[in-house]
A and B are shown apart, each in its own frame.
Chain A
Amino acid sequence: MIFQLPTALNNFFIIFYSIIVEGMPFILIGSLLSGIMEYFVSPESFDKFMPKKKVSKLTVAAMLGNLMPVCECGNIPFARRLIKKRVEPYIALTFLLAAPVLNPIVIASTVAAFPNDPTILFLRLSFTFLVATGTGFMISKLTSKQVLSSHFAEQEACNNPLHSHSHNQSCESGHCAHKKKVSWPRLLSLVRTEFFEMTGIFLFGATIAASIQMFIPKSFVFGFNQFEWLAILAMMLLAFIVSICSNVDAFFALAYSQVFPMSSILAFLVFGPMIDIKAVLMMRTIFNWKTILLIALYAGVFTFLLCYAYFLWI
């Protein structure tokens, strides 16, 4: 190797690269499944599969994570493909928020971390379901045009039946991946395109997450555990900053369970997998900033209210 870094920089880059190296395989898995879906699942099959009522649709979307047991990094390419398959954005969003928790791997890791406390698992799953479907429901009031980013909306337009340029010609803006017969080289190319888009954004997210970790100590939140409501907010903030993968966040939260009340640990476990620094930046490849702000706000408020209600109840 050519050079070594000064200690402080080395620490920063170790954290930065660890986030990327941990997340990159999940992005690839998501991109792979996204590519497979592009070729093997038609928009019509989704129309058949999805129930007609909104509440049922939201429930099905929240449960889709069981088919896709990866963390938020892997779910975003899949959610993008769902929208390209003409699934409504609020359904894809509900999947995006719920899937990092409502899947078998995260259930197993939560059980392993809190083996003597089944309440934690039950409440984590229930609260995640409620927050994801609640946020999805609120966003369903907006139209696709209002929620999607302009870049993504342009890509999505290609899959719209009204999109009218000839498929024998190349699209002027160059955003179309016109469907031909299934071929592995083309599928791999699609995986590569999705991977580049996601990883580029992920790099920005990891840079910010690593920087904040270096400059805002985790102990910062320890000053906020005197009041229940403040502890809940502090743990939500910690979850946002740390940007830890949902597959293992239960073990991380366990370390704080002696210092913080259980309601705030729950807030960490519910809010973190939905909204964190890297996830927000990756969501930007689908939604516009205004929508992301609304999503974070709804998810934050719902999580806070549910966790505080739990505190009042126990």
Chain B
Amino acid sequence: MKNNWINRFALLLATIFLGKLIFSSEINLLIHPRYFWLVYFACGTLFLTLVFGENSQVKSRRDLYLSSLLALFALFGLLVDFKPLSSQAAGERSDFVETGLNVDISRMKRFSSFSANTLERDIKDWVSIFAMNPEPQKYENMKIRVQGFYLPNSKGAAAIARYTLNCCAADAQIISISLKEKLNLPADTWLEIEGVLTEIEINGERSIGISVTDFQEIEPLSNPYITYVQKTESFDLKTV
């Protein structure tokens, strides 16, 4: 078989596709920043094999199919405008908020410190603090300002949420903070919410929620997922 052009074509498309991910920042939607260098490496290596690799023929029909498949994969990836994982994915996959909490709490205990200014804390900080001390009265009237997407119904209450990532979107898990009142917004609208923490009741149980004083719609963040970066400072509960 003389269809060696398909090999080069597939390789060219795959290289351009990885380049597109890097330059359009869509790579943020797929994998953890810790692994970006792997994609840079892959893009460079594919380019080298494309330019400097010896011409090789597609040797069998099977090879032809595999090359075509790679070309199709890359072409589709080039044409699609990817959006961040939506809350629907959380519903479909039923990712439990509690599982995210556990990841957080374990890590936060070791690596992070929280700002004394409560307005500077993000969802991850708050969720970790709540996991360590879930008593709602402890946080009564604390000011809060967080960004995330709107979840109309998360375990019985509206919430503001973000996905957390360890490796890639396949392991994304959702963390959220409940809202005292529902907002008149469609699911997945990106928001910045300001308010105060207060005790709320969800399904008959005491919980912590945000009493919203102000909110505004924002563009999805360029890195919509919460990714962990190790810090060396130690956690101090006194700042809570």
Contact = CB atoms under 8 A, between A and B. Distances in A.
Interface string A74-108: 00000000000000000000000000000000000
Given A5-B83, A13-B82, A192-B49, 6 more contacts: A21-B39, A151-B62, A199-B70, A213-B170, A248-B166, A255-B99
Contacts of B73: 20, 203
B169 A200 contact: no
Contacts of B98: 258-259
A195 B81 contact: no
A7 B30 CA distance: 16
A172 B18 CA distance: 36
Interface residues of A, number: 70
A242 B171 contact: yes
B63 A219 contact: no
B20 to A, nearest CB: 8
Interface in B52-84: 52-57, 59-60, 62-63, 65-67, 69-70, 73, 77-84
Nearest to B100: A255
Interface string A165-206: 000000001110000000111101101110111011101000
Contacts, number: 192
A26 B31 CA distance: 14
A19 B170 contact: yes
B67 A200 contact: yes
Interface in B24-55: 27, 29-31, 35, 38-39, 41-42, 45-46, 48-49, 52-55
A130 to B, nearest CB: 26
A29 B55 CA distance: 21
B30 A17 contact: yes
A257 interface: yes
A222 interface: yes
A22 B168 contact: yes
B153 interface: no
Interface in A10-25: 10-11, 13-15, 17-22, 24-25
Interface in A211-262: 213-215, 217-220, 222, 242-245, 247-248, 251-252, 254-259
Interface in B166-181: 166-171, 173
A62 interface: no
Q: Which of A115, A188, A243 gathers most chain B CB within 10 Å?
A: A188
Contact of A245 (B92, B94, B167): B167
Interface stretch (B102-110, B192-200, B206-214): B102-110
Q: Is the interface of B mostly helix, strand, loop or mixed?
A: helix
A1 interface: yes
7 contacts: A10-B82, A11-B85, A184-B52, A199-B66, A244-B167, A247-B167, A251-B167
Q: Is the interface of A mostly helix, strand, loop or mixed?
A: helix
B63 A196 contact: yes
Given A189-B56, A254-B106, A8 B39 contact: no
A163 B63 CA distance: 23
A210 B89 CA distance: 12
B11 to A, nearest CB: 7
B167 A15 contact: no
B10 interface: yes
B5 interface: no
B59 to A, nearest CB: 4
A147 interface: no
Contacts of A113: 106
Contacts of B57: 174
Contacts of B38: 22, 25-26
